[in-house]
A and B are shown apart, each in its own frame.
Chain A
């Protein structure tokens, strides 16, 4: 049973560039959420995708955008990269069960993004 997989594992970019991170959810899951984890902090919610639409969004600028494909996989795009975007980006998947919040998420091992 494949868990959440993310690619690439590490990435180095320079300021002003654009980056795309990828995520495949756990088998049987249809909802994907993205989190940013800065060093020494907890994960911060970026947004969540279900049925190929953004359903929830955290306090992140429009430079952060995403997409979900019909096979439930997802991409996170960040434009005009800033030094402060350096972080671990985590993808988490779950099965959508309506407005019931009672479910844990399954996380991938993350993509470490470094901005020079």
Chain B
């Protein structure tokens, strides 16, 4: 039972346009959500996060939206740049005894075309 799902394996957008990456989760105990970016032959790099008490968090070109009732979050990248081409992982974690244990989706490969 996959608790974090990224249903789009790949996404291709034109440079300058918006990229929207989606993520769904099933575990209602998750209270912290993160997006990581991964380039080939490198480990994942933290991009942006959001707590379950918020519905939006913005950092420069990156914005994460959280819809708790739908158990859905999305990452918006505006404007998209060729350097944003990478695999993006959605991750979630719960507090309490499960703090620090992150559950990842299978990733979405973003390609930004010049």
Contact = CB atoms under 8 A, between A and B. Distances in A.
Contact of A43 (B32, B41, B89, B93): B89
Interface centre among B6, B36, B99, B101 (most CB of A within 10 A): B99
B77 interface: no
A1 interface: no
Secondary structure type dominating chain A contacts:
loop
B86 interface: no
A103 to B, nearest CB: 8
Interface string A1-39: 000100000000000000000000000000101010000
* Tier of interface size on chain A: 20 to 34
Interface of A: 4, 31, 33, 35, 40-45, 48, 55-56, 58, 90, 92, 94, 96, 98-110
Interface of B: 4, 6, 31-32, 34, 36, 41-46, 49, 51, 89, 91, 93-107
11 contacts: A33-B100, A33-B101, A41-B106, A41-B107, A101-B93, A102-B51, A103-B100, A104-B34, A105-B102, A106-B46, A108-B43
